[in-house]
A = this chain, B = another copy of it.
């Protein structure tokens, strides 16, 4: 089957694909509100029925303690590789409704974009893959590789039943790599492969000075002040170069390779644009790294919250008993969240003076992940994107975490390739969410090309 046949099929069926996507988008599969469980289930059933309709024979809707998981598989490519496609059919709540130009669950096409809740996150991107698979099945009656589809209904509520389901089905989910399209491209018209994500170690500490709040006049100067002490601890967590001062913190960090740094440097990114986007007065970070390197490929230690003493309006001369802070380390391969949490905790304890009590606890952690750029799946995605967009794709990383990616890595032992078709202005989670139809069509051909490339 020629690439042109794929292009022609997608071209010929554009209108029907959009009408089907509208059907998918009309179902208000908002997963946050338990009273909406019926609509979420209806969406899962619609999706299962649609997957059967394109020719997949094994399609199952699995109940969970929350919303159902839709699982499908094509295992007819005997002796060929097996891939796993992950997506989610649930959507964010549409509030505030009054800000939508057209109703969130009445998809509307304007200016070659489709507007609806879930248009880009993730129904539209997921549906591009479903239509890509349909394209191959329609043209050849078969798929060139084995594909397993895992589509959950709780991504917007923390995927709380997904890990257990993956754990329980890990033999069945065996595959060479996972493909996910649930992210934006780096820039419009610039196909992007995200090959690394940062992990997380989230901690909280409390410094205790006096046994109870004291009058700052009667006692101030003679007893430890937990806020003053917490400030000193915070200050000692970084050195003058913006590096984290915890001994051993960087031991497992995989340093950036020169070609990665060069690739990042070529991206259409400016510090001026980043400053405007974040609203900061100026930038700072670890000496010796660019902003993209700092947010994608270097670990951090950021405070997320702090509290203690009197925080109301006006003035109260209290010398507080305790001061607390939440803080978290973003981690990069091959840092381990538990090890990092232990290093941080030990360091904080070591620098705290003996005249205060300090507690440090780990809230939760998540592993960083990196997918080798020379792996088969990444190279196949590169070629598929190039064919479909006629532009050289770029390699990017993500500064945040996608927990399911760490789960695929840890439970299934497989790498994930993140190939997003969204754009930064898609307004996911906001009113007037949209998906550019050109990206939808290019996503479909990318998907069809990708499976062929993975043979």
Q: A residues engaging B (CB < 8 A)?
A: 198, 200, 202, 204, 208-212, 214-225, 227-228, 230-238, 274, 278-286, 291-292, 294-295, 298-311, 314-321, 323, 325-328, 330, 353-357, 363-364, 398-401
A230-B231, A234-B231 in contact; A310/B305 too (CB < 8 A)? yes
Query: Could you say which of B210, B286, B309 contacts A305, with CB atoms under 8 Å apart?
Result: B309
A349 CB, min distance to chain B CBs, angstroms:
13
- Chain B residue at minimal CB-CB distance from A214: B278
- Chain B residue at minimal CB-CB distance from A234: B231
Report the Cα distance A364→B317, complex, angstroms.
11
A216 touches B330 (CB 8 A): yes
- Chain B residue at minimal CB-CB distance from A298: B221
Task: Give the residues in chain B near A355, CB-CB below 8 Å.
Answer: 280-284
Report the Cα distance A295→B218, complex, angstroms.
7
B305 touches A308 (CB 8 A): yes
Query: Could you say which of B210, B215, B302 contacts A280, with CB atoms under 8 Å apart?
Result: B210
Known: A224-B281, A306-B309. 16 other contacts (CB 8 A): A200-B217, A202-B317, A210-B279, A217-B401, A218-B398, A221-B295, A224-B283, A227-B302, A227-B327, A281-B356, A303-B308, A304-B316, A304-B320, A305-B310, A305-B311, A306-B323
Report the Cα distance A308→B306, complex, angstroms.
5
Task: Give the residues in chain B near A214, CB-CB below 8 Å.
Answer: 278
Task: Give the residues in chain B near A299, CB-CB below 8 Å.
Answer: 221
A320-B304, A320-B305, A328-B317 in contact; A228/B222 too (CB < 8 A)? no
A384 CB, min distance to chain B CBs, angstroms:
26
Report the Cα distance A400→B224, complex, angstroms.
17
B330 touches A326 (CB 8 A): no
A295 touches B215 (CB 8 A): no
Report the Cα distance A320→B307, complex, angstroms.
13
Report the Cα distance A354→B280, complex, angstroms.
11
Report the Cα distance A138→B437, complex, angstroms.
102
Most B C-beta atoms less than 10 A away, residue of A215, A223, A237: A223
Can you list 22 contacts pairing A with B, beta carbon distance less than 8 Å?
Answer: A210-B279, A211-B278, A219-B295, A222-B274, A222-B295, A224-B280, A224-B284, A225-B303, A227-B303, A227-B304, A228-B234, A231-B232, A231-B237, A235-B236, A281-B356, A282-B356, A303-B320, A304-B318, A306-B306, A306-B311, A306-B323, A315-B363
A154 CB, min distance to chain B CBs, angstroms:
18
A401 CB, min distance to chain B CBs, angstroms:
6
- Chain B residue at minimal CB-CB distance from A215: B400
A228-B302, A303-B225 in contact; A202/B400 too (CB < 8 A)? no
Task: Give the residues in chain B near A356, CB-CB below 8 Å.
Answer: 280-282
